[in-house]
A = this chain, B = another copy of it.
Amino acid sequence: MVTLRDVARQAGVSAKTVSRVVNDDPAVNAETRDAILAVIRRLDYVPDHAARMMRAGTSSVVGLMTDVVATTPYSVDIVRGAQDSLRRDRRTLLIANTEGDADLERDVWRMFRAHKVSGVVYATMYHRPLDLGDPEFGGAIVLANCFSPRGRFPAIVPDDEHGGYTQAAHLLALGHRRIGIVSLNPVLRASVLRGAGFRTAFAEVGVPFDPELDRPGFVGPIESERIVAYEAGRDLLSRPDRPTAIICGNDKIAMQIYAAAASLGLSIPQDLSVMGYDDMTVIAETLRPALTTVGLPYFEIGRRAIETLSAGTPGAKAGIEPPVLVPCPLVERQSCRAIDG
């Protein structure tokens, strides 16, 4: 292994001078610097992270803790977003997931302490409140896709309310007035927020919100919920005054609405416009016609989480700060069209 001293010996300078060059200390003669850089390249010297970390008392590694990665496949974009942001200053990501186990979580905090990570992002795989307890962690903590009830930690979450508004507003702008809703499990925060968004949009154009047209697409306790969007869709679409558009709680629901429409001989978007949520490309781009939907900005959430960390919130905040809301963009494809006449 090539060390600072090896480089120093080869370059005929002291270790400290090499250290200065490595750390971009301006107090080094230009010629000396060039000579040392040449030796570094020749020997392919890489500074030892362990030694730096020991001296510095902190490391260039950021911890990422997740609950369950499996549930929504695209939520890993939080990880990609975080990495994208870290790469710029050559920092890296130490990842651990807790699988929802409290003991494991405590171990992970300990491990993060052992590694002297400079900060921790706690990311959940669906948007929810999170009580972090007291992690006894010295560095900064940022929540991604979740938020602490009393606002103790900075949090970055998707703007579900505005996302719901976007769904409804787009269909209303296309002239739809009878709009069905097949929503997420109502226990989910996202479901509640989006509902509020619908209502705002409906109210803005003076369309009454008809509870008859609002059905849950999932039933049962979360984690073991069952999707019933197909039945809900058939039900809505069999009504004499069937809706001309359906807002879905996610793209899976939309997928079943497509099937329900097909089973009743209805074509999308001629007879029915469908609006999804999540922008799971696997579904949205594969459906025929491709699905117009609202995206979950996971990548951006991950990126912002790291930036918030770097901005340096030292430890838990005493005051209450509301979560940062990241907008959910409309992704237009072919499943919505303007209503005739």
Chain A residues within 8 Å of B, Cβ to Cβ: 1, 44, 46-51, 53-54, 57, 59, 61, 69-70, 73-74, 76-77, 79-80, 83, 87, 90, 92-97, 104, 107, 110-111, 113-116, 136, 227, 230, 252, 255-256, 258-259, 262-263, 280, 282-283, 285-288
Q: How far is the CA of A54 from the CA of B3 in the complex (A)?
A: 12
The residue that A262 contacts in the complex, of B50, B69, B263, with Cβ under 8 A, is: B263
> Judging by beta carbons under 8 Å apart, are A259 and B287 in contact?
yes
> Judging by beta carbons under 8 Å apart, are A79 and B50 in contact?
no
> Judging by beta carbons under 8 Å apart, are B288 and A259 in contact?
yes
Please name 8 further chain A to chain B contacts, defined as beta carbons within 8 Å, in addition to the given A44-B136, A79-B95, A227-B285, sorted by A numbering: A46-B114, A69-B76, A69-B80, A70-B80, A87-B104, A94-B95, A227-B286, A252-B286
Which residue of chain B is the closest to A51 with respect to CB atoms? Answer: B54
Q: Assuming A93-B94, A97-B83, is B287 touching A116 (CB within 8 A)?
A: no
Which residue of chain B is the closest to A278 with respect to CB atoms? Answer: B282
Closest-CB distance, A74 to chain B (whole angstroms) = 6
Closest-CB distance, A207 to chain B (whole angstroms) = 30
- What 9 A-B pairs are tightest by C-beta distance, nearest first? A73-B73, A50-B53, A262-B262, A50-B54, A49-B114, A252-B286, A49-B115, A46-B114, A76-B76
> Judging by beta carbons under 8 Å apart, are B116 and A50 in contact?
yes
Q: How far is the CA of A116 from the CA of B59 in the complex (A)?
A: 14
> Judging by beta carbons under 8 Å apart, are B114 and A48 in contact?
yes
> Judging by beta carbons under 8 Å apart, are A114 and B47 in contact?
yes
Closest-CB distance, A254 to chain B (whole angstroms) = 10
> Judging by beta carbons under 8 Å apart, are A70 and B77 in contact?
yes
Q: How far is the CA of A288 from the CA of B288 in the complex (A)?
A: 16
